[in-house]
Amino acid sequence: MHELGIAQNILEIVQQAVPKEQTAAVRSIRIRVGPLSGVVPDSLEFCFQAMVNETEMQNASLAIEQLPAILTCKKCSYRFQTKDLEFFCQSCGSSDLELVSGKELEVVEIELAEESDQSL
């Protein structure tokens, strides 16, 4: 299960991005995941929750935005979102395609509690 390593990497990214004295204030980490990234979102969520409970960020949650796989046909320039990861052009049937998106795995936002939050 490589999602455990990915969860660890997410926590390391947050620790590098947030000053040490504010890590307990992390409330939400938003990531984007494409269907071709090799990540199982439910497994990643499970691993993240297990790991975050052992840190000063135990109040943090993981918000996973699942992106579609988008392809462009090199033959007819048709751009489309693939369903069921079918790799042929929905317009002309060509298999000469370019992947535009779908391999993403990125941290896009880290939300901190406001200073007035009493739960800090």
CATH topology of domain 3-17+26-112: hypothetical protein PF0899 fold (3.30.2320)
Q: Where are the domains of the chain?
A: 3-17+26-112
Quote the pTM value. 0.84
Give pLDDT tens digits for 5-45: 999 999 999 999 999 999 999 999 999 999 999 999 999 99
* Cβ proximity of 23 and 56 under 8 Å: yes
pLDDT digits (tens, 9 = 90+) for 40-94: 999 999 999 999 998 999 999 999 999 999 999 999 999 999 877 788 999 999 9
